[in-house]
Each structure stands twice: as structure tokens, then as C-alpha cells.
Structure 1
Amino acid sequence: MVSRMKALVLSGGAGTRLRPITHTSAKQLVPVANKPVLFYGLESLADAGITDVGMIVGDTAAEIEDAVGDGSKFGLRVTYIPQEQPLGLAHAVRVARDWLGDDDFVMYLGDNFVVGGIRGLVEEFRRRRPDAQILLTRVADPRSFGVAELDPSGRVIGLEEKPDDPKSDLALVGVYLFTPAVHEAVRAVTPSWRGELEITHAIQHLIDTHADVRCTVIQGYWKDTGNVVDMLEVNRTVLEGVERRIDGDVDDRSETIGRVVVEEGARIVHSRIVGPAVIGAGTVVRDSYVGPFTSVAENCRITDSELEFSIVLRDSSIDGVGRIESSLIGRHVEVTPAPGVPSAHRFVLGDHSKVQIHS
């Protein structure tokens, strides 16, 4: 008999590394290729055959609920579980204890992005059913992550959270699979130096009590979209897979090259769009260039400007500012040229000074 699986999706957290965008928006809803990061995760859960999702929400609960609804548009049933303070991943499991019951579950961090989804991982877990299964990937600087130590046979023997002196370059990806055995482990842990109940400590407790903890080292693409650099990189990766589609209006003086998506209601006027790029519904691009790996959301205005390798959120305008690249521009933003200021030098020069000025 196949065990039932639920999913616990973490959608709280302050998103401090994506400020100022996340001062006014949930980090899980920042769009990649004009679709919120969270939605990719929900789609991958549905693809893996999971239908019951518990969504851990915090201060941005209303925004998350408005975006996700009851989950039916993803083929899911979503239950919202409030977490009053973001006190760690193990704390989230404690908070969700009643909803999880005695079912196996996937814990998925809502701002993580795994190319190719998790269907294979879920199938492997269902087949072998260890007490816990973690995903690992090799990273250049493990000090920012939970880090796993493996023995020569590839068995997990230790985990550390953000260590100063990592024992390996294997970082934990934000997807975990558990049987109900994890509940005793999360009850056993105490707050870390960060004041949080760490899931790494709970998994270490499982290891220390000789539970069956297994790992899968993924070779594919994974990103924690918690900062602007990673956000732009994920945007690039997703755009590489888009298919050309022109549903909006492109005038005779404009040129679209390669994998370009122009959504219905968008207008391209006397402009050049080089893909992969997505132009959202209702957006107008006029007398401008939009280059590769750029997502412009709905109802934006791009005029007399150049834009490349960037994300522009909805209802923003960029007018006459020359070239912008490698940028994340929020909602309802106006970018315009600064007023001209006469060039002048102002000095307080001591005796016997010598000044050279390059004008």
C-alpha cells in the first residue's frame, strides 16, 4: 500500500535579503518569468501527485492567501497554518503537527526553485520510505547553508547549520521528506544560537538515535531565491525554456528576435526585443530595446530606454534613462532621468596648494 503524503510549504519569513522589494511584498511572490516563485513549487508538488498542502504563513498571510486561494487552480487543496513568529523550520513542523497527523510529508521552502521538479524524489521516498530523506547539492561557499557530512559510503553522519568551518561542500536544498518519526525529533531540539528551532538539529537527532536518514545529491539546478543575484539567475534559467509566442501587438517598425513572449494586450512600438524575454499583458514598450533574460510584468511602460538581464514588476515605468541591466525593479516604480545640473567645482584650498582638474 502506498503511504499517503502531504506537503508543508513554508511561506512565512521576512525576506530581509530581498529588501526593499519585500518591505511591501512577500518574497515568495516575487515573480520569475512573470510567475511567482511560490507557484513553481506548488506546480511541482501537484506534478509529484501530492494534493494536500499545508501553507505556513506569517505577516504576509493575506497576500499569500489572495494569490494562492484554495489551491484549486494548481490541483491542490490548501490549508493555511499561521506561524506567529518565524522561529525556524522545526518550529513550523511543530505548529503544523495537528494538520500533518501521522502522514508522511514533503517540506518545501516556498522561495526555493528546483529545476525539473521533485516527482522522482517523491517516488523514491515512497518506494524506500526512510525516516527522512534530504536533498543536497554542491555549492561554492557552504557557510551560508545547512551542510551535510557523509561517510565514505555516502551515508549522512552529521549536519551543521551555517558552519564557520564546513566539513563538506554539500548544502541542504530546501526540500525535505519525512515520516512521522520527525515529530519526536522536532520536540527534542532546543533553540540554536540564532534563537530558532533548526530542522538540521532535528535531522541530527534522527541520526543520533539511529533512524534511517538518507540523502540524494542533485546534479540539476537549484536556487534559494532569497537575494537579487539568485533571483535574476533563476529568471534567466526559466526564460531559457520559454517558447516564442506573440499574442500582443507588434508594429511594423519593431523587431522581435528569438524566444520572445508578448502577452495579450501588450504593445511593442518602434522597439527591438531580443529573447529570451517576456513582456506582460498591458505593457507598452516604445522606442526601446529589451534584451535577453528580461521579464517585464503587466501594465508597465518602457520608453526610450534599454533594459537587459532584469526583472520589472507590475505597474512600473522606465522613461528615457538610457541602459539598465542586472536590476530588480519593484511594483509602481518610476525611473526617470535626473534633472540636468550645471557642472561646477567647489574648493577650500590651503596655502601653496596644487590642483589638477580633468574637465
Structure 2
Amino acid sequence: MDNMKALILAAGAGTRLAPLTNELPKPLMPVANRAVMSHILRLLEKHNVKQCIANLHHLADQIPAYFSQAHNSDLLLSYKYEPELTGDAGGMRACKSFLQGGTFVVMMGDILTDMDLSMVIHQHKAKRALATIALKRTDEVERFGIAALDNENYIVQFQEKPKREEALSDLGSTGCYVFEPEIFHYVSCQGSYGFGRDLFPNLIHLGLPVLGVEVDCYWSDIGTICQYMQSSFDVLDGQIDIDIDGTRDSFGWCGSNASMDTNCRINGKLLLGKNSRIEANVSINGYAVIGDNCTIGAGSKIYNSIIWSGNFVACNSSIANSIVYGSERVHILKSSAQLLAQNLSTAGSCRSSCNNSIDRPMEYA
């Protein structure tokens, strides 16, 4: 795998994650206080990928700006701006000159996984495949591309998000692919072109070797608010092997220079970011991810929530099943209705009913 290259598809608008994606492009959604794309890059580097390119479109300037500060590795990272979205395979086509030198990997920019990518690449080469799809069994076939395999694990049919009763298997695409450079001979030269809708069915129709490799690992996408929250809580549960910034403690993880009053009550799992402070008599139940440079005011209650970096939560606030996010401006808000109306918080519950409760004024920074 000398000089292996990869593409991260990072151009999409992430509309199902709005209003969060009004603030950040989806690949920068913080999972355990680190952009999800950062976790992808670390996975690629772990499996000896040396160079990576990301295609950009929505809030395009933010991704290079983030990684100019946060990317500390030997993996070379470059970018390709797309003025118009042209589908996921169209995004790969836009990066042809970078990728066409040899076998390469493509990963969606919104997935969280600890899959054995080296094993997938090895199987791809051993079976002399033109294209390989990493597959994982799913109970939600209608959300994914579904593959039917022959006895040699080549894909004989591919369905894009079939109805449950029409699905040919429960093997869903993970959004991780391996290709040979000859793949560009089969990608339309112009217009929108998709992997599941266009490329894979066409390759199979032509009888070309498209391999399916089943992976046994943690895998999630963060395509919706509920999935984003659940993925973040899965990290706290230790379901995925990823790097977390902080020291392991009895309650979870504590970032450098973070502090917590001795009178806090934690009945659950917490990730407390760098330089953050939890004041006296704060109660945390369920799961809580608190970003860097946050202050949680005395007497506040937090339940199953994510608070992005740079926030000040006023004393005696109550935050449940919520994601608190926004700009660097300071707002003093008098009611949860006003908070929601100004798009400074959103709620999505994976473990209980969706609701938002912010009982006292909150300053937002």
C-alpha cells in the first residue's frame, strides 16, 4: 500500500442536519470534540494512506481553515473545490487527476467507524476487483445501498435504498470504497453521477468485478441530528475505538486544564473539553459532551446533550436532549421559545422523546 491515496467526500450541504449545518459543514460536526473528518483522517493514516484529497462545496472555506490548525500528521491533505454539486461519483470524477495513479480509497465525509480498512484493501487486491464496497449488516435497508453477493463475494445486484420488502439482502454500503484507476473509464464525463444510483449498477450490468467485503466493526453515519447525537453517545459508551482528547476518569474523560467543582453530581458519562469549567451543584445525567472553553454555571442540569465549544451556560439552566451551538456572538435569552426561534439550539433525542428544555436564560458565546 505504498503511497496509497484517498478521497473524502466533503462537499454535501448536509440538509438533514440543519440548522447545525448552517454553522458548520457536515465533515466538521464535532464528535467527541473533534471534527468527524478528523476521525476519518486518523483512520486513513492508521491504515497507511499517505495522501488525501477532500472535495468542497458547502461552507467550503471552513474545512481548510479548521485543518490548517488541527491537522498534525504526516498524511498530506489537499482540496478540490466544486462550484456545483455533481453527485458523489461526480465528486470523485472532479478529483481524477489526483487519484488516477493507482489503487485508491473513497470515504464519505460523515461516517464514524473503526473498520479494518487494510483488510478491505487486501481483499480488493487479492480478488483483482475493479471496485470494492465495504458492507455491514443493517436492520434499516431502506436507508442504504444494498448488495447481493455470489459465492465468491462479488456483487451481483445493487439496490439503492430499496423498500424493506424488496431488499435482496441486509448487507448495506458503509460509504467506504476501494477502486482501481480504471474506474474512471466508467464514470460519466459530465453531469450528476452517483455511486449507488449509477456507477455500481452499471459496472454489475457490464459484468465487471465489483467485490463486497463484509466488515465487523463499529459504523455509524451522522446524517441526521438523531444519528449525530447517538454516535456521540456511542463514543462515551466505548463502542468505537477512536482517539479522545482527554484523560480517562471515573465519569468519562476530562480535557487538559478542565475543572469541575467537587459538589457536582454525575450520574452518567461525560466528556469535558479542554479549558472548560463546571461550577458547583451542577447535575449531569445520561450522556453529556461539553466542548472546549465552556462554562457550565452553578446549579445547572444537563441530560443527554451536546454543548459545542465556546459556550457559557448560565446558572440554574436546564438542558435536555439538546445540542447547543452557534456563533461567537453573545445572546442573553429569556425563554426557550426565543432560543429556538433564533436557531441557537436544536433538540434531537435518540433515547427518549424529542424535546428541548432550557428553563432559565442562557448566555451564548
Residue 238 and residue 218 in structure 1: after superposition, are their counterparts in 2 closer, same or farther (change >3 A)?
same
Residue aligned with 1:171, SS? strand
Q: Which residue of 1 aligns with 2:269?
A: 276
Q: Which residue of 1 aligns with 2:288?
A: 294
Residue 284 and residue 168 in structure 1: after superposition, are their counterparts in 2 closer, same or farther (change >3 A)?
same
Q: Which residue of 1 aligns with 2:123?
A: 124
Relative to the length of structure 1, the TM-score reads 0.81
Q: How does 1:250-265 map to 2 (within 5 A)?
A: 258-265=250-257
Whether 2:177 is the aligned partner of 1:176: answer yes
Residue aligned with 1:174, SS? strand
- Contact (CA 8 Å) 1:185, 1:203: kept in 2 or not? no
Query: For structure 1, which segment, 323-332 or 227-236, has the greater mean C-alpha deviation from structure 2 after superposition?
Result: 323-332
Q: Which residue of 2 aligns with 1:51?
A: 50
Q: Which residue of 2 aligns with 1:211?
A: 208
Please state how far the C-alpha of 1:202 moved relative to its aligned partner.
1.0
Q: How does 1:154-193 map to 2 (within 5 A)?
A: 154-164=153-163, 165-187=166-188
Q: How does 1:77-96 map to 2 (within 5 A)?
A: 77-96=76-95
1:244-303, Cα deviation, whole Å (9 max, x unpaired): 9669xxxxxxxxx72432222322123123453211122221121223432100122212
- Contact (CA 8 Å) 1:134, 1:215: kept in 2 or not? yes
Equivalent position amino acid for 2:46 in 1: D
Q: Which residue of 1 aligns with 2:311?
A: 316
Cα distance in 2 between the residues matched to 1:7 and 1:125:
15
Equivalent position amino acid for 2:184 in 1: H
Cα distance in 1 between the residues matched to 2:71 and 2:312:
33
Query: For structure 1, which segment, 273-282 or 107-116, has the greater mean C-alpha deviation from structure 2 after superposition?
Result: 273-282
Residue aligned with 1:87, SS? coil
Q: Which residue of 2 aligns with 1:347?
A: none
Q: Structure 2: give runs of 5+ residues left out of the alignment.
A: 337-365
Cα distance in 1 between the residues matched to 2:90 and 2:232:
31
Q: Which residue of 2 aligns with 1:69?
A: 68
Residue 46 and residue 246 in structure 1: after superposition, are their counterparts in 2 closer, same or farther (change >3 A)?
closer
1:291-317, Cα deviation, whole Å (9 max, x unpaired): 343210012221222213221101223
Q: Which residue of 2 aligns with 1:222?
A: 219
Cα distance in 1 between the residues matched to 2:294 and 2:69:
29
Q: Which residue of 2 aligns with 1:41?
A: 40
Among 317, 320, 324, which residue is 1:325 paired with?
320
Residue aligned with 2:61, SS? helix
Residue 243 and residue 167 in structure 1: after superposition, are their counterparts in 2 closer, same or farther (change >3 A)?
closer
Q: Which residue of 1 aligns with 2:103?
A: 104
Residue 70 and residue 91 in structure 1: after superposition, are their counterparts in 2 closer, same or farther (change >3 A)?
farther
Residue 243 and residue 143 in structure 1: after superposition, are their counterparts in 2 closer, same or farther (change >3 A)?
closer
1:89-129, Cα deviation, whole Å (9 max, x unpaired): 11012111111123111001111111345232223334444
Equivalent position amino acid for 2:274 in 1: A
Cα distance in 2 between the residues matched to 1:27 and 1:66:
15
Please state how far the C-alpha of 1:222 moved relative to its aligned partner.
1.0
Equivalent position amino acid for 2:275 in 1: G
- Contact (CA 8 Å) 2:9, 2:106: kept in 1 or not? yes
> How much is the aligned-residue C-alpha RMSD, in angstroms?
2.7
Q: Structure 1: give runs of 5+ residues left out of the alignment.
A: 248-256, 340-359
Whether 2:193 is the aligned partner of 1:197: answer yes
Query: For structure 1, which segment, 257-266 or 291-300, has the greater mean C-alpha deviation from structure 2 after superposition?
Result: 257-266
- Contact (CA 8 Å) 1:71, 1:78: kept in 2 or not? no
Cα distance in 2 between the residues matched to 1:291 and 1:5:
44
Residue 87 and residue 331 in structure 1: after superposition, are their counterparts in 2 closer, same or farther (change >3 A)?
same
Cα distance in 2 between the residues matched to 1:30 and 1:158:
33
Please state how far the C-alpha of 1:327 moved relative to its aligned partner.
2.0
Cα distance in 2 between the residues matched to 1:290 and 1:100:
47
Cα distance in 1 between the residues matched to 2:287 and 2:149:
37
How many positions carry a matched residue from both structures?
A: 324
Cα distance in 2 between the residues matched to 1:245 and 1:49:
25
Equivalent position amino acid for 1:136 in 2: L
Equivalent position amino acid for 1:327 in 2: S
Relative to the length of structure 2, the TM-score reads 0.80
Query: For structure 1, which segment, 154-163 or 197-206, has the greater mean C-alpha deviation from structure 2 after superposition?
Result: 154-163
